[in-house]
Amino acid sequence: MTSFDYIVVGAGSAGAVVAARLSESADNSVLLIEAGGSHKHMNVQVPAAFSKQFKSKLDWAYFSEPEQYLGGRRIFMPRAKMLGGCSSMNAMIYIRGNKADYDTWAKDGATGWSYADVLPLFRKSENNSRGADDYHGDGGPLYVQDLRSPNEMSLRLIDAIAACGVDRNDDFNAAEQLGTGLYQVSQRRGMRWSTADGYVNPARKRSNFNVLTNTLVLRVRIQDGAAVGVEAERDGQPGFIRATKEVILSAGAINTPQLLMLSGIGPADHLAEHGITVIVDNPNVGDHYMDHPMYLMNVETTAQGTLHEAESPKWLLRYLTRRTGLLTSNIGEAGAFFHTRSGDAAPDVQYICAPGYFYDHGFRAYPSPALAIGCSLVGALSTGHVRLRSGDPKDRPAITANYLKEPEDMQAMIAAVERGREVITSAPLRGLVGSEIHPGGDTSSREALEKIIRREVEHTYHPACTARIGTESGGVVDSQLRVHGVQRLRVADASVFPTIPHGNTHAPTVMAGEKAAITIAATS
């Protein structure tokens, strides 16, 4: 193995961006390392097939520790293991969060991360099919488009949500996030468009851009207080790769804190417990874990043309020949943002609505057509942590999410489900819906509803905040993403968010990659 100016660990929603942008300067030699392999698989490229990647070779397929507030259940946590990372596995919803998210970050010390600071970065990354305006760009690497073939039942669900008092909104990423409408998606002509497609593939044409796939980084090597490279293993062979300028960790909110701890940066007692020499004692590494709990409501429908029919030969042919039809669906086509509690600047609940049955991460089917409303708690307050299971880099990290630990989170989730029932029984869906599948049963009381939510709630696949921006006493990196206590080491992924944005985390993570690349270029 050899030497590069910059080594970026993780080719996901941020890492692909950082590496590609740094390679735009011919003066930089850049290595992008990915533990997984190619993203060129049918279940990646066909939007409606995203959940078929779960528990496959494309997935780290993590599980949480037994969750205290969910009756001791271990929660399945899919994390992509391929080029593009979770941008190759997610439901492609393009949401930036709320203006208040970024202004709060800046107010609390994340200098340079206000909404005014980051909006140009969102616009820079974006190639929006609607064209450029004050909020959107049309020249960036990330394609953002309207759904190719929106389902009629998605439009009906929007009508139903509007009938329950939520204003219509055709752009959640413009002046106002509140409202209901169709989501824009990271697709191009009916196919998924990941950061591997938008950033990595074009960068491969540059002689100074290098990619190592199927390569597991074991730890960052730190000498005299500075990162000098990474120890990695490929095809069973360990080796050392030197970084002459910087190492950037973009391995995600689970694997990045794991790598920091394996490298001697983390809670001293915890590292000592696993025989790791402490280089920087920082108890914030792996702490402050945040995600968006989600409860999936499902109801039977008599409607025709739902995703219940998606796997028929007719729709496969339509997709292969025209890139239209049911297989272009991202499943969660429509949604809404609204408040269930007062005092919050940003909405605390997001609906993600599907014209089909979706439950247990897509592993369970239902014998007849159904509709789903995912109640995603984007204003969640509960926090958890990531810890090492051992000092072996190949051991899976121990993840504790603490979903619904805070009473306010449960109250908001109950309110979201109750409003979802109003949506299902509203006039626009009358005559089209039948029996409630989930929650179902005797859940007329709030106590009964709380019990079933704790038994069935999952999450929205948005882990964040485990290496957050903050002071040396409260965070892991500074506002320029430099790891406290170590030179030439930065983090750029969702782990650096001081708090989790109120919405899907892919777009903010791409933005963090853009921010990191600019910051590195300005300070290296």
Q: What is the DSSP string of 21-53?
A: HHTTSTT--EEEE-SSB----HHHHSGGGGGGG
Q: How crowded is residue 131: how many other Cβ atoms within 10 Å of its Cβ?
A: 9
Residues with Cβ within 8 Å of residue 269, at least 6 apart in sequence:
none
Same domain, 193 and 311: no
Distance CA 303, CA 321 (A): 26
Q: Residue 122 has which token pair?
A: 């969102």
pLDDT score recorded for residue 284: 98
Q: What is the pLDDT of residues 42-81, one digit of tens each?
A: 999 999 999 999 999 999 999 999 999 999 999 999 999 9
Which of these ranges, 97-106, 141-150, 441-450, has the smallest mean pLDDT? 441-450
Alpha-carbon torsion (520, 123, 512, 211), positive or negative: negative
Same domain, 238 and 153: no
Q: Is residue 197 part of a domain?
A: yes
Q: Residue 300 has which token pair?
A: 């039977």
Q: Which of 462, 484, 502, 506 is catalytic?
A: 462
pLDDT score recorded for residue 1: 54
Distance CA 424, CA 512 (A): 37
SS (H, E, C) 377-436: CCCCCCCEEEECCCCCCCCCCEEECCCCCCHHHHHHHHHHHHHHHHHHCCHHHCCCEEEE
Residues with Cβ within 8 Å of residue 218, at least 6 apart in sequence:
230, 231, 232, 233, 238, 262, 393
Q: What is the pLDDT of residues 476-514, one digit of tens each?
A: 999 999 999 999 999 999 999 999 999 999 999 999 999
SS (H, E, C) 138-169: ECCCEEEECCCCCCHHHHHHHHHHHHCCCCEC
Q: Residue 267 has which token pair?
A: 């809670």
Strands 489-491 and 237-249: parallel
One-letter amino acid at 227 equals A
Q: What is the pLDDT of residues 178-213, one digit of tens each?
A: 999 999 999 999 999 999 999 999 999 999 999 999
**Structural domain count, the chain:** 2
Q: What is the DSSP letter of 360?
A: G
Range of the domain at 138: 1-45+77-144+186-289+387-398+462-524
Q: What is the pLDDT of residues 147-176, one digit of tens each?
A: 999 999 999 999 999 999 999 999 999 999
Q: Who has greater pLDDT, 523 or 196?
A: 196
Same domain, 19 and 157: no
Same domain, 131 and 260: yes
Same domain, 244 and 117: yes
Q: Is residue 68 part of a domain?
A: no
- pLDDT for 459 beyond 60: yes
Of 418, 441, 456, the residue at which a domain comes to its end is: 456
Q: Strand, helix or coil at 110? A: coil
One-letter amino acid at 29 equals S
Q: Residue 380 has which token pair?
A: 């969640």
Distance CA 119, CA 329 (A): 28
**Dihedral (C-alpha) 136, 169, 377, 388: value to the nearest 10 degrees?**
-20
Distance CA 457, CA 424 (A): 19
Same domain, 477 and 489: yes
Q: What is the mean pLDDT of residues 14-42?
A: 98
Sole residue written with tokens 């169709």? 182
What's the pLDDT band for 441 if we cut at 50, 70, 90?
A: confident
Of 437, 456, 475, the residue at which a domain comes to its end is: 456
Q: Is residue 512 part of a domain?
A: yes
462 given a catalytic annotation: yes
- pLDDT for 442 beyond 90: no
Give the burial class of 447: count Cβ atoms within 10 A of its Cβ; 0-12 exposed, 13-18 middle, 19 or more buried: exposed
pLDDT score recorded for residue 443: 82
Q: Is residue 116 part of a domain?
A: yes
- pLDDT for 109 beyond 60: yes
Helix axes 99-107, 115-125, angle to 10 degrees: 130
pLDDT score recorded for residue 496: 98
pLDDT score recorded for residue 523: 86
One-letter amino acid at 176 equals E
Q: Is residue 54 part of a domain?
A: no
Distance CA 82, CA 456 (A): 29
Same domain, 506 and 447: no
Q: What is the mean pLDDT of residues 104-113?
A: 98
- pLDDT for 94 beyond 70: yes
| DSSP assignment string, 65-102 | PPBGGGTTBPPEE--B-BTTGGGGTS--B-----HHHH
Phi, psi for residue 82 in degrees, rounded to 5: -175, 170
Q: Is residue 72 part of a domain?
A: no
Of 434, 456, 478, the residue at which a domain comes to its end is: 456
Same domain, 321 and 227: no
Q: Is 503:483 a contact under the CB 8 Å cutoff?
A: no
Same domain, 135 and 240: yes
Same domain, 448 and 467: no
Same domain, 137 and 224: yes
Distance CA 138, CA 129 (A): 7
Distance CA 293, CA 460 (A): 6
Q: What is the mean pLDDT of residues 133-149?
A: 98
Among 100, 184, 155, smallest CA distance to 305 is for 155
Q: Is residue 100 part of a domain?
A: yes
Q: Which helix H or strand E contains 261, and what residues bound it? A: helix 252-262
What CATH number did the domain enclosing 82 receive?
3.50.50.60
Distance CA 444, CA 426 (A): 18
pTM over 0.95: yes
Same domain, 90 and 168: no
pLDDT score recorded for residue 84: 98
Among 205, 161, 186, 166, smallest CA distance to 88 is for 186
Cα–Cα distances in angstroms (integers) from residue 455 to residues 61, 68, 417, 420, 435, in the given order: 21, 12, 14, 18, 20
Q: Is residue 360 part of a domain?
A: yes
